[in-house]
Structure 1
């Protein structure tokens, strides 16, 4: 059975992450596991945790990536991002954390979530937030930037067509 075409936003995010291939990766809002499948195929040395609040999405991601789970390269987790911490994500500290179109970062709880994520990241780790929207979507990144205004992270945003990218790096201790 052939897989559907990978959406452009996921291909672009995978390229932007610029992975070396041996990182610990945390994907937030993994959906049906398309990005996990793509990145794990490209980089056999990755260790990957895919998280989503939807049990149906996590089940689909696990089914899609059953071989990577059997190899111990991937774990899927059904968990609201607000509850994510070292106790439920012992795979950390993570080198790369990313999310594609996760609207939580536009909400009032985003600062607390960003701080929790910083606690899961090793010093120098990168956090990537990808937002797909119409032209002018860079304005949507402003709340995300404010949400990342935590002592442990430095953030910047740029807009390239319909995809806005927020990059943050965890400062050294």
Structure 2
């Protein structure tokens, strides 16, 4: 049985991450696990936590990536992003955190999620938020920048292939 075509936004995001291959990766709102499958196939030394608030999505991601789970390279977790923390995600601290089209980052101005992420990140860790507006046109991500611009993080935004890419890096120390 062939798999459905991978959406362009996921392919572009996976390419943009430019991983070295041995990072600890946290994917927020992993959906059906397509990005995890692509990244784990490309980088056999990654350690990966895929999180989604939907039990159905997490089950699909786990089924899609059963081999990586059996190898101990991937764990899937059903959890709201606001509840993530080191006690729930002992795989961290994470070197790379990313999300594709997660509206939480542009629909809220709270810093709760940003602080949770900061607590999960290693010094020098990178956060990548990929946002595609309807029709594939990139859009501004004002609240995301404000939410991530907490004392431990710095951020910049750029456009890449129809996606707005927000990169934030945790300052060492």
Q: Name 2:138's counterpart in structure 1.
A: 137
Give the TM-score normalised by the residue count of structure 2. 0.95
Deviations 1:76-105 (A, max 9, x none): 000000000000000000000000000111
Question: Mapping of 1:18-167 within 5 angstroms?
Answer: 18-108=18-108, 110-133=110-133, 134=135, 137-139=138-140, 141-167=141-167
What is the CA-CA distance between 1:108 and the residue it aligns to? Answer: 2.8
Is the 1:138–1:158 Cα contact (8 Å) retained in structure 2?
A: no
What is the CA-CA distance between 1:109 and the residue it aligns to? Answer: 5.5
Q: Over aligned residues, Cα RMSD in angstroms?
A: 1.3
Give the TM-score normalised by the residue count of structure 1. 0.95
Query: Which secondary structure does the structure 1 equivalent of 2:119 belong to?
Result: helix
User: Unaligned 5+ residue runs, structure 2?
Assistant: none
Aligned-partner Cα distance in 2 for 1:22–1:149? 27
Is the 1:25–1:95 Cα contact (8 Å) retained in structure 2?
A: yes
Aligned-partner Cα distance in 1 for 2:128–2:148? 11
The 1:85/1:14 distance shift into structure 2, 3 A limit, reads same
